[in-house]
């Protein structure tokens, strides 16, 4: 497993996303993933599976201190009181006395407390030793810049949707300048990469699947981690098998091509329910 050094943290480049994983299946997946070699687990208060994620971590033959554990604040937990209270509730559900990373799940809406209040309470959790690092999710470069200005504790990451069909170069450039990790969720475009002709062709050169090529493309970029969701042992194993090959500069550029982004735009539009 490659590790990304960002600020004072060491973050495993590939993590396990747990969105839509619930019940015994979630617990078993987390346990299996950790025992296979995963060390980065991502969840959220909104996912409703923190208890199962915690049970999976406890069941695995892996020390808690070796797991980089991430959760996110729900929209209703943005006041100073609810940040502190809900973070402790998350830790209780996860069966841990500290979090490696706590994120704001989405930008604060007008009816929510000010971003400064939310970040101030998150900073208190860092000062109290309950949270090692804080970050944001789904923030634009301008919002990320605002968050960095408002927070005494460094913003470790911005977790956003990122894959070959979703251009995040502007955000990635900002993150690299300011030593912020970009964490890519939905890195396989909800399965959209699986039939991509270019990814199929590139994968054939290395004996890899299109999904493995897409993940390799992400983690090969400096300052990018990926958190694909997987539940079967087969997919968990396949996602891990991306550190034994390297894409050429030409292949990296081909995957990032503007024509692919345009194709991806139409693909993503086709997935919308309206």
Catalytic residue among 38, 47, 165, 174: 47
Q: Which residue(s) pair with 102 in the sheet?
A: 71, 134
Closest CA to 211 of 223, 227, 200: 200
What is the C-alpha separation between 73 and 102, in angstroms, rounded? 7
What is the C-alpha separation between 155 and 21, in angstroms, rounded? 27
- DSSP E strands: which ranges in 76-217? 99-104, 131-137, 155-161, 181-185
Other beta carbons less than 10 A from residue 205's beta carbon: 12
**H helix count then E strand count, the chain:** 11, 10
Beta strands across the sheet bearing 155-161: 16-17, 40-42, 68-73, 99-104, 131-137, 155-161, 181-185, 224-226
Mark whether 174 is an active-site residue: no
Give the catalytic positions in this structure: 47
């Amino acid at each position: 497993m490659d590790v990304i050094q960002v600020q004072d943290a060491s973050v495993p480049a590939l993590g396990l996303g747990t969105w839509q994983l619930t019940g015994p299946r979630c617990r078993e997946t987390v346990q299996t993933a950790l025992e296979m070699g995963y060390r980065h687990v991502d969840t959220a208060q909104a996912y409703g599976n923190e208890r199962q994620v915690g049970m999976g971590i406890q069941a695995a033959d892996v020390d808690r201190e070796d797991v980089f554990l991430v959760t996110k604040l729900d929209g209703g937990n943005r006041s100073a009181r609810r940040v502190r209270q809900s973070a402790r509730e998350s830790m209780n559900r996860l069966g841990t006395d500290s979090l490696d990373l706590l994120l704001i799940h989405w930008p604060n809406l007008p009816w929510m407390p000010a971003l400064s209040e939310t970040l101030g309470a998150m900073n208190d959790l860092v000062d109290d030793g309950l949270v090692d690092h804080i970050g944001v999710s789904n923030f634009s470069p301008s919002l990320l810049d605002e968050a960095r200005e408002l927070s005494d504790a460094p913003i470790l990451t911005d977790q956003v949707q990122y894959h070959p069909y979703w251009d995040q170069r502007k955000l990635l450039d900002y993150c690299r300048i300011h030593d912020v990790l970009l964490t890519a969720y939905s890195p396989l475009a909800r399965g959209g990469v699986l039939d991509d002709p270019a990814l199929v062709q590139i994968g054939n050169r290395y004996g890899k699947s299109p999904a493995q090529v897409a993940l390799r493309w992400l983690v090969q970029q400096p300052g990018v981690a990926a958190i694909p969701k997987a539940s079967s042992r087969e997919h968990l194993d396949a996602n891990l098998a991306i550190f034994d090959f390297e894409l050429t500069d030409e292949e990296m550029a081909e995957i990032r091509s503007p024509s692919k982004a345009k194709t991806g735009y139409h693909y993503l539009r086709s997935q919308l329910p309206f």
